[in-house]
Amino acid sequence: MAEAAEKLPPVQEIFDPHSRAYMEDPVPQCLALAERGPLVWYEPWQAWIMTRMPDIMACWKEEPLSSDFYDWEFAPPRPPEDQWSNFERAMIGHSLLADHDHHRLVRRVTAPAFSRNVVDAIQRKIEPDVKRLFDELGQPERFDYIEKIANHIPFISITRMVGIPEKYWPDIKQVIMTFTETWNPTISDEQRESARQDSNRAIDIIREVIAERRNAPEQDDFLSTLLNIEAENEGFEEGDIVTLILALIGAGADTTLVAQQWSVYALLKHRDQVEKALSSPDAFSNAFSEINRWGVSSKMGFARYAPRDMEFMGEQLRKGVMVLMMPHLKDYDPNYYDNPETFDVERVFDPDVMFGYGPRYCIGAALAKRQLYLTITELFKRFPDVELDGEPERDDSDHNAIVFKRLVLKTNVA
């Protein structure tokens, strides 16, 4: 067995998510990486890659590794508390990277902010803006969906559902597009610092909005709900509110843009399933899991870090080493899914792990899927005969996902 392993080519020769081959068809590389074993060392990133879903789910549930970016061996030094900016107060001091007990407290007390009623209310707030986007688009014979629609949705969704007044929109727009870069380990220090400064400016705005809202708290938005929760729960503080809003920005900005592109692309490649996929919000929720599985747009995964020198899954991990969980490696594995090549919006996902699992399940998942449902439904309502105008060219510049340069649609408007 050891002799056979020695004859295998280096992992980076079979798996390179920044290569043209991966961008055009990631499936062969994902399957090849998963075949190397449950925990694979990837030299270019100086990281271990976790490839199997049972191990990933156990890691999400039991949290043996750290999710604190500052525990990464190549992270900048953790600043002392008396030198924290707004960014460190949010990222270190509160719920994104807080201790497990506090993280569970935050999830428990904020559950009402993500209820079905709240999601329905947020849809009603976003819907007029989405309709206005399509009104401004008019009835062109063809248009770039990314430029005209998708690029605007993350900003509309986040500002409306959080409840950020329009007067602050110009100043907060930048962070919505760059926040996730603050902890991305594959970009330059200069990019990360620029994103950190964007975040600091955004946190100043969020705190200003919170101060204004305290004087007028009864508004139908996410921020007002969080302020009510703060008033009723000891241990849940303003810093937690700021961090939750940043979490929504982080989870909902570039990921929403990617999701918009792939949802439209996948459904137009499978027109026979559009009606089923859009029959209800619940139907689309399941359909989106299939869109995400079928598209395999991810390049990296979820980063964790060894909190100390430790044995993990049979390997010796040094303190601070990165461990990447890559659930998308399973998406075309016939041992995990029946007929993985087939696109089926009614495929059963049990469990559905697209938004994580256990204590780190994305609390904004329902919000993300609802704004997608709203936008995609409006597209097919306005243009029932819409088609792809050729196969879109893929863009290799995104740091974390396979995306399209343009997504030109023909509307078949007479």
Percent of the chain with pLDDT over 70: 87
Residues in CB range of 271: below 8 A, 6 or more apart = none
pLDDT of residue 1: 41
Computed on alpha carbons and rounded to an integer, the radius of gyration of the chain in Å comes to: 22
Tens of pLDDT along 76-121?
Answer: 888 888 888 877 777 665 555 556 676 677 777 777 766 777 777 7
Alpha helices (runs of H) in 111-237, residue ranges in sequence order = 116-137, 145-148, 153-162, 169-178, 189-214, 222-232
CB 411 within 8 A of CB 141: yes
Q: Which domain holds residue 27?
A: 2-410
171, pLDDT greater than 60: yes
Q: Are 409 and 383 in contact (CB under 8 A)?
A: yes
What Cα–Cα distance (Å) separates residue 321 from each residue in 58, 68, 181?
A: 19, 12, 19
pLDDT at 85: 81
Give the pLDDT band (50/70/90) at residue 142.
Answer: very high
Determine the Cα–Cα distance for residues 223 and 234; give it in Å rounded to an integer. 18
User: Rounded CA gap, 76 and 196, in Å?
Assistant: 12
Q: Is beta strand 142-144 parallel, antiparallel or unpaired with respect to 387-388?
A: unpaired
For residues 294 and 410, is the Cβ–Cβ distance under 8 A? no
Separation between Cα atoms, residue 267 and residue 400, nearest integer Å: 23
Residue partners of 6: CB distance under 8 A and separation at least 6: none
Cβ atoms within 10 Å of 8's Cβ, excluding its own? 11
- pLDDT band, residue 279 (cuts 50/70/90): very high
- Pair 205, 168: CB distance under 8 Å: yes
Output the CA torsion 289→290→292→294 (10° steps): 160
Beta bridge partners of 201: none
Query: To which residue do tokens 């009510």 refer?
Result: 228
**Does the pLDDT value for residue 191 go beyond 50?**
yes
Q: Which two tokens stand for residue 13?
A: 């020769």
The whole-number pLDDT of residue 351 equals 79
**Does residue 216 carry a pLDDT above 90?**
no
Degrees, nearest 5: CA angle 161-221-264: 25
Give 35-91 as a DSSP string: HT-SEEEEGGGTEEEE--HHHHHHHHHH--SB--GGGSTTSPPPPPGGG--HHHHHH
Mean pLDDT, all residues of the chain: 85
Which CATH number do you get for residue 117?
Answer: 1.10.630.10
| Phi, psi (rounded to 5 degrees) for 266 | -65, -40
Query: Tokens for 129?
Result: 């803006």
pLDDT of residue 197: 83
User: Rounded to whole angstroms, how far apart are CA atoms 287 and 113?
Assistant: 24
Q: Which of 203, 109, 145 is nearest to 378 (CA)?
A: 145
Number of domains in the chain: 1
Query: Quick one: pLDDT at residue 331?
Result: 94
